[in-house]
Amino acid sequence: MSTQVKFVQGNEACVEGALYAGLDFFAGYPITPSTEIAELLSRRLPMAGGKFIQMEDEIASMAAIIGASLTGHKVMTATSGPGFSLMQEALGYAVMAEIPCVITNVQRGGPSTGIPTHGSQGDVMQARWGTHGDHAIIALTASNHQDVFAMTIEAFNMAETYRTPVILLFDEIVGHMREKLEVPEPGEIPLVERLRTSVKGGVNYHPYLPREDGRLPMSDFGDVHRYNVTGLYHDMWGFPSSDPDVVHGLIRHLVDKIENRTNLLARYKEHHLEDAEIVMVSYGSAARSALHVVKNRRLRGERLGLLELQTLWPFPKDIVREKCANAEAVVVVELNMGQVMQEVKKAVDFPERVFLANRIDGVFITPMDIRKLLRLIQGKGV
């Protein structure tokens, strides 16, 4: 089988990526604008011997994929806005119990029911801090279908590597837009498989003891090792503990295993950053318009560049700082009230020269919207 070329929706690109990555268990609940993912997988998964289940709500969907991950499967759920809110409880559980799983959130306008059929990037902070308590999280995004495909595979690879939930933060615009997707041959993109313990039955296995390289080998439920999984603070066997040293050690481990690898986990694209006087920072659908502006201005000799972020969490602050270091101004382009802009401000040395080009009315940000802001920055009037 050679590379397949398809003309698909972004949501379908996500499905293709998940299947390529080895997804074999999906649980979900219908919600606009992510429903196509569930619909497609209800057909595609059993065709490949995998399993799909429609649960009673998003809480149950998240819970079910955690259960299926523990029996050794690659798992995913997909949702949007209100459903993502409902998932936060079990998402925290997956963080605490170190369960590999992927949660796709095709963002729509919120809060509450908001504007279901329109795009938004308003859940960036919810992805970071939606579940309670200190923790770290990985969240990835993409602006076109080839990248949706690639980032979905990355999400599965990172989930398996670090034993953690990974959030795919797409948006309605990319999710529903149609464009070309090339699905490479199996084997072309490397996949990370579940790391299973080599400890034999009858020998003490520690499900929560990291190896020297930081990875934690797993044992499937049903195999020879019996251990406990809990959302409580726990020791290396998985049994509850309130010993301050154990609690401290675990929270440090959960945060450090991700935050200490911020640069390693950073995925981004650079467009004309070498000599850029104005650097735009953008992601997801908004980055499409930003790129359009950059290309046009370059034709006119203006030194504009774009840093397109694909890893949103852990926030790649070193990379943002480095790429923006020589800029006169930084323009963050996003479909919210500045959720990533605040992070960019924290990352750079000159927060006063970080500007926001945004829309929060459910309408896709156009190159024209961005140009208006650029005129202001460049002192060309309104």
Partner 1 sequence: MSTHDYLRQRFFPHMWCPGCGHGTVLNSLLRAVEQLGMSKNEIVMASGIGCSSRISGYVDFHTLHTLHGRALAFATGVKLSKPELNVIVPMGDGDALAIGGNHFIHACRRNIDITAIVMNNRIYGMTGGQFSPMSGVGINATTAPFSNIDREFDVVKMATAAGATFVARSTTFHAQQATDLIKQAILHEGFSVVEILSQCPTHFGRKNKLGAAADMMQHYKDITVPIGSSKKKDNPDLIERGIFVQEEAPEYCREYDKIIEQAMKG
* Residue 39 within binding range of partner 1, rule CB under 8 A: no
Q: Minimal distance in Å, beta carbon 132 to partner 1?
A: 12
* Residue 133 within binding range of partner 1, rule CB under 8 A: no
Which stretch in 31-39, 63-71, 109-117, 146-154 sits in contact with partner 1 by CB under 8 A?
A: 63-71
Closer residue to partner 1, CB minimum distance, 45 or 293: 45
For residue 177, how many other CB atoms are within 10 A of its CB? 19
The answer to whether the beta carbons of residues 256 and 142 sit under 8 Å apart is no
> 157, 62, 170, 91: which is closest to 124 by C-alpha?
170
Environment class of 269 (CB within 10 Å of its CB; exposed 0-12, middle 13-18, buried 19+): middle
* Residue 209 within binding range of partner 1, rule CB under 8 A: no
Question: Where are the extended beta strands (E) located within 67-113?
Answer: 75-79, 101-109
* Residue 369 within binding range of partner 1, rule CB under 8 A: no
Q: Minimal distance in Å, beta carbon 80 to partner 1?
A: 20
* Residue 89 within binding range of partner 1, rule CB under 8 A: yes
Closer residue to partner 1, CB minimum distance, 79 or 282: 79
* Residue 173 within binding range of partner 1, rule CB under 8 A: no
* Residue 94 within binding range of partner 1, rule CB under 8 A: no
Taking CB under 8 A as the criterion, the residue among 72, 184, 210, 214 binding partner 1 is 72
Beta bridge partners of 218: 196
DSSP element (H, E) containing 6:
strand 4-9
Q: Minimal distance in Å, beta carbon 356 to partner 1?
A: 38
Which stretch in 103-111, 224-232, 246-254, 304-312 sits in contact with partner 1 by CB under 8 A?
A: 224-232
Integer angstrom CA distances of residue 66 from 207, 248, 366:
16, 24, 39
* Residue 332 within binding range of partner 1, rule CB under 8 A: no
End-to-end alpha carbon distance in the chain: 55
**Count of residues touching partner 1 (by CB under 8 A):** 43
The answer to whether the beta carbons of residues 339 and 286 sit under 8 Å apart is no
Integer angstrom CA distances of residue 293 from 204, 279, 296, 298, 309:
59, 11, 5, 8, 17
- Evaluated on CA atoms 175, 179, 185, 190, the torsion sign reads negative
Say if strands 304-309 and 268-271 run parallel, antiparallel, or are unpaired.
antiparallel
Which stretch in 70-78, 120-128, 189-197, 255-263 sits in contact with partner 1 by CB under 8 A?
A: 70-78
* Residue 315 within binding range of partner 1, rule CB under 8 A: no
3-state secondary structure 268-312: EEEECCCCCCEEEEECCCHHHHHHHHHHHHHHCCCCEEEEEECEE
Closer residue to partner 1, CB minimum distance, 37 or 348: 37
Report the distance separating Cα 373 and Cα 382, nearest Å: 8
* Residue 68 within binding range of partner 1, rule CB under 8 A: yes
- 208's torsion region: left (phi>0), alpha (psi -120 to 50) or beta? alpha
Taking CB under 8 A as the criterion, the residue among 30, 111, 133, 240 binding partner 1 is 240
Q: Minimal distance in Å, beta carbon 129 to partner 1?
A: 19
Taking CB under 8 A as the criterion, the residue among 7, 180, 203, 239 binding partner 1 is 239
Say if strands 138-140 and 165-171 run parallel, antiparallel, or are unpaired.
parallel
- Evaluated on CA atoms 143, 145, 146, 149, the torsion sign reads positive
Taking CB under 8 A as the criterion, the residue among 16, 17, 21, 25 binding partner 1 is 25
* Residue 278 within binding range of partner 1, rule CB under 8 A: no
Q: Minimal distance in Å, beta carbon 219 to partner 1?
A: 9
* Residue 203 within binding range of partner 1, rule CB under 8 A: no
Taking CB under 8 A as the criterion, the residue among 59, 115, 195, 363 binding partner 1 is 59
Beta bridge partners of 271: 306
* Residue 49 within binding range of partner 1, rule CB under 8 A: yes
Closer residue to partner 1, CB minimum distance, 4 or 378: 4
Q: Minimal distance in Å, beta carbon 67 to partner 1?
A: 3
For partner 1, the binding residues (CB under 8 A) are 25, 27, 43, 46-47, 49, 51, 53, 55-57, 59-61, 63-73, 75, 89-90, 93, 220-224, 226-232, 239-240
